[in-house]
Amino acid sequence: MRLIVVDDYNKMSEKAAIMVASQIILKPNSILGLATGDTPLGMYKELIKMYNNKEIDFSNVKSFNLDEYYGLSKNNAQSYNYYMKENLFKHINIKEENINIPDGTAKDIEAECKNYEKRIQDQGGIDLQILGIGVNGHIGFNEPDITFEAETHLVNLDEKTIESNSRFFDSIEEVPTKAISMGIKTIMHSKRIILLACGESKAEAIFKTMKGKITPKTPASILQLHNDVTVIIDKEAASKL
The catalytic residue among 138, 142, 234, 236 is 138
- Strand order of the β-sheet with 153-156 is 67-69, 178-181, 153-156
Is 110 an annotated catalytic residue?
Answer: no
Give whichever of 134 and 183 is closer to ligand GLP, judged by the CB atom: 134
Contact range with ligand GLP by CB under 6 A, out of 35-43, 51-59, 103-111, 144-152? 35-43
The catalytic residue among 46, 65, 67, 236 is 67
DSSP 70-110: TT--TTSTTSHHHHHHHHTGGGS---GGGEE---TT-SSHH
Q: Burial level of 211, CB count in 10 A (0-12/13-18/19+)?
A: exposed
SS3 206: helix
Q: Which of 46, 67, 103, 112 binds ligand GLP (CB under 6 A)?
A: 67
The size of the interface with ligand GLP (CB under 6 A), counted in residues, is: 14
Binding mask of the shown chain, residues 161 to 200, with x at each position contacting ligand GLP by CB under 6 A: x---x-----------------------------------
Nearest approach, Cβ of residue 54 and ligand GLP (Å): 29
DSSP 126-171: -SEEEE---TTS-BTTB-S-SS---SSEEEEPPHHHHHHHGGGSSS
The catalytic residue among 68, 143, 158, 236 is 143
Please report whether residue 36 would count as binding ligand GLP according to CB under 6 A. yes
Is 7 an annotated catalytic residue?
Answer: no
Is 138 an annotated catalytic residue?
Answer: yes
C-alpha span between 8 and 197 (Å, rounded): 10
C-alpha span between 35 and 100 (Å, rounded): 12
Please report whether residue 16 would count as binding ligand GLP according to CB under 6 A. no
Give whichever of 12 and 93 is closer to ligand GLP, judged by the CB atom: 12
Contact range with ligand GLP by CB under 6 A, out of 15-23, 109-117, 126-134, 145-153? 126-134
C-alpha span between 240 and 197 (Å, rounded): 13
Contact range with ligand GLP by CB under 6 A, out of 22-30, 91-99, 117-125, 129-137? 129-137
List Cβ<8 Å contacts ≥24 apart for 199-202. 199/234, 199/236, 199/237, 200/236, 200/237, 200/239, 201/135, 202/133, 202/135, 202/233, 202/236, 202/237
Give the residue at shortest CB distance from ligand GLP. 132
Contact range with ligand GLP by CB under 6 A, out of 16-24, 31-39, 51-59, 88-96? 31-39
Please report whether residue 130 would count as binding ligand GLP according to CB under 6 A. no
C-alpha span between 199 and 241 (Å, rounded): 13
Is 143 an annotated catalytic residue?
Answer: yes
Residues identified as active-site: 67, 136, 138, 143
Task: Give contact residues for ligand GLP (rule: CB under 6 A).
Answer: 35-39, 66-67, 132-134, 140-141, 161, 165
